[in-house]
Chain A
Amino acid sequence: MSARPNAESRLSRLLVMLPWLMERGEVPLDEVARTFSMSRAAVVKELELASMCGLPPFVDELIDVFVDDEMVVVGVPRLFTKPLRLNAPEGFALLTAGRAAMQLPGADADSPLGRGLAKLAAALGESADDDSTLVVDLAPTAMVDEFVEAAGRRERLSMRYWTATRDEVSEREVTPRRVFHERGDWFVSADDHRSGERRTFRLDRVETFARTATFDPPDSDPGAGSGAGTSTSGADEAAAVSSVSWSADGSLPRVTVRLQPGARWVVEQYPVDAVMEGADGSLDATLAVSSERWLQRLLLRAGTDAEVLAPPEWVNLGAVAARRLLNRYPEVPRAANREAAGADGGSTARRAGRRR
């Protein structure tokens, strides 16, 4: 452990370790250290402390424990034979992880996972009809299943994929390695055979895909591309996932935008370098710009709730994009407009607006 644990976390761990040891009687010191992520010296120190504790008048120790020849030996169990019940953070972590796991492809309520979770929920004081007090909705789609299965088969898929940063659709061949859910979206981390790199793609941006009947060897780098903290390269949609690598990518230009409360979603949706809160409730946020097209889209979505402060060449970027789109929406006389939206489905106004 990096930080020195405080008294609370040390006691908490001790109260887990003692019943764990009692159940086993004799455990190699190395195994105790590994299981509880401690150094061997720290294990010995904590057990020595435990053997000094007791009840008044403190002549009878609580636990008969000693370390002998690399083995931790527990003698007569006295107190702390059962683990402390789960505290609030632990209960929350278990239920959340369990409910999320139930949403992942392959899970079902009658499975061992479903049964184990039901027992857990009961231990946390939730009654059987209470499973709607904490709901994790990952909204898996059919495509998520398909990509998970392709990852299992290690099969290459050919796909048409929309890259938001460039606002273009491209054809690619990828071998899915890991599918994950983060920030409300599903992603696949895959070997991209065009670039020869591990890339991350957002599944709802896959337009179509097809099996290729080409199978690749097992993943050579299973740790790569597993969500938060992933180091992916390129200006792909990896951007939206791995905040760590993206914001660390100093090569991308930066923009500073002033966001009114209506555009706060920008700082929630995209990784930001810095945010300064103004007295009027606005935010000045600095964020990486993966492409000018991407920034245009952001400015169109936010409207006048966002204002570029710097750099100067992008101050009018939103207006330029708006002017282009306005060609679609010519100001037509009211009467014509109403007529257009009538029987013939608005085609008059539309045709007038088309300039292709």
Chain B
Amino acid sequence: MDRVERLTNLLALLLETTQPMTLVEIAGEMGDQYPPTLANLRANFERDKAALREIGVPIETTVLIGDHAGMSAYWIDRQRYELSDLDLDPAETRALQMAFAAVRSSSGAAITAGEEALWKLGTERVDAGLAVTAVVPELPSLPTLRDAIARRATVAFRYHDRDRLVDPFGLLLRDGFWYVLGRDHGHDEQRTYRVDRVQGSVAVREPDGAFERPAGFDPRTAFSSEAKHFGVVGEDARTARVRVSAERAVIVERGVGVDRVVHRASDGSIDIDVPCANIGAFGSWVLGLMDHAEVLGPPDVRDAVRARLQALVDRADRAGGP
């Protein structure tokens, strides 16, 4: 028999039952759709239960008392099963269709989860020749993380070779990367993790509602206050002065902001003050401008950039280079 048929029948049974059913009761109602021996029955049922949960069916479990004390019983809460009516008006439906046409996952899969979701909402994906679109990176653990955030459930994952227990507060897509922000149990402080660097899968711990999300938490501000990144919005007190040649001045000025320009020379070059607390990231940025930039000071920052260049030369010399 087709497994889809058995799954559908099981789903119907659990949706219609007025009280939780034990495995034996379920097997009795399903007849010969399940194998007769208890061990095989249990294995098959567990597999079906996992399959239904995977597609989003909320199968509830309760442990009975009284006559069947200690036995598990199962049912489906109709309220949690059914998608509530969204009541979209035609303009909203159209707008959502256009929005989903404009945003694609990086996998480019033909049938995406978003498309299935649109079917459930009763709308279709349209493919208009849109003038502006976005491609969003897709990672297998993202749905799990979002779900955990909505449920306020603690998650466990491995990161930088260490096991973490985190209360997730929010997800942020910035500069092409997904970050999860939350409270790390081990460090008892707020941390930011890049989701694509999570090793293996993310496990959700019971129960829901395990933590309170800080009032007014916003991943955007929480993220930028961690001065790990060299960026144009760095709030570091320390800055370095960099001279940028006329050939790159326009683009660099737009990137760092006009208020960072401290001097404009008649040859078109500009002097700018940029954050340099993260000396590694700063050095990488300024050397990426190659012949078009020079660190003017402070002296120790200039020396640090000089040392980076010298290290490259020294390594080549040691290897018998040019």
Contacts and interface: CB of A to CB of B under 8 A. Distances in A.
B176 A13 contact: no
A307 B316 CA distance: 10
A65 interface: no
A196 interface: no
A54 to B, nearest CB: 7
B237 interface: no
Contacts of B122: 20, 23, 83
Nearest to B288: A301
Contacts, number: 381
Interface string A53-64: 111101000100
B210 to A, nearest CB: 15
Nearest to A161: B251
Contacts of B15: 79
Contacts of A302: 284
A135 B176 contact: no
Nearest to B243: A350
Contact of A84 (B120, B196, B254): B120
A250 interface: no
B129 A222 contact: yes
Contacts of A15: 55
A14 B12 CA distance: 13
Contacts of B95: 111-113, 116
28 contacts: A1-B110, A14-B4, A37-B111, A46-B4, A56-B13, A80-B12, A83-B122, A85-B84, A88-B146, A90-B113, A91-B117, A97-B103, A98-B100, A113-B96, A116-B88, A116-B96, A119-B88, A134-B149, A135-B173, A182-B176, A303-B284, A315-B319, A315-B321, A319-B317, A319-B321, A329-B305, A331-B306, A345-B296
Interface of B: 2-5, 7-9, 11-13, 15-16, 29-31, 51-52, 54-58, 80-84, 86-89, 91-96, 98-100, 102-106, 108, 110-114, 116-122, 124, 129-137, 142-144, 146-147, 149-151, 169-177, 196, 213, 217-220, 241, 243, 247-248, 250-251, 254-255, 280, 283-285, 287-288, 290-291, 294-299, 302, 305-306, 308-313, 315-317, 319, 321-322
Given A55-B9, A98-B96, 15 more contacts: A7-B4, A11-B8, A56-B13, A87-B143, A93-B112, A100-B136, A101-B103, A126-B150, A135-B219, A182-B106, A182-B135, A268-B196, A319-B321, A337-B302, A341-B297
